[in-house]
Amino acid sequence: MSTVTYLHANSTTTGNGSVLDIYGSYVENIPPVLIITLTGSGSYEIEGSHDLQNWASYFTGSASDSRDLIVGIRYWRVKINSLSGSLTAGVGPVPNGEGDVVLPPLVGTSSSPNS
């Protein structure tokens, strides 16, 4: 079993990555943490959605970073706006409240009118 769920794995092109579903993948006060590693230069946007159709910007970056994901928002993606190099974005396992850990799953890729 992988220890990381990748939204982008060493991506070298722009666009949306896979969509992460964090439902059931957290304990109160312990949100999933998204880690983004940017090699080279570029810009990206972390976006959240309740319905996989309407996406809202949560954070815009141009360097490697980590962000706690808001547990009230179920779906997350990283949109690469520009890139000269590579970008990896992933979430590791999180406690599930029953003494174990879970790895948030992917639900595919997304596109929507406001992608």
Reading the block at residue 23, the tokens are 């439902």
Q: At a CB cut-off of 8 Å and minimum separation 6, what does 15 contact?
A: 79, 80
Residue 2: predicted pLDDT:
65
Cα–Cα distance for residue pair 103/24, rounded to 1 Å: 10
Q: Is residue 114 part of a domain?
A: no
Tens digits of per-residue pLDDT, 15-52? 999 999 998 787 777 889 999 999 999 999 999 999 99
Q: Is residue 27 part of a domain?
A: yes
CATH number at residue 39: 2.60.120
Total domains in the fold of the chain: 1
Residue 40: predicted pLDDT:
97
Q: Is residue 32 part of a domain?
A: yes
Rg (CA), the chain: 13
Q: Is residue 115 part of a domain?
A: no
Residue 114: predicted pLDDT:
45
Tens digits of per-residue pLDDT, 88-109? 999 999 887 778 888 999 997 6
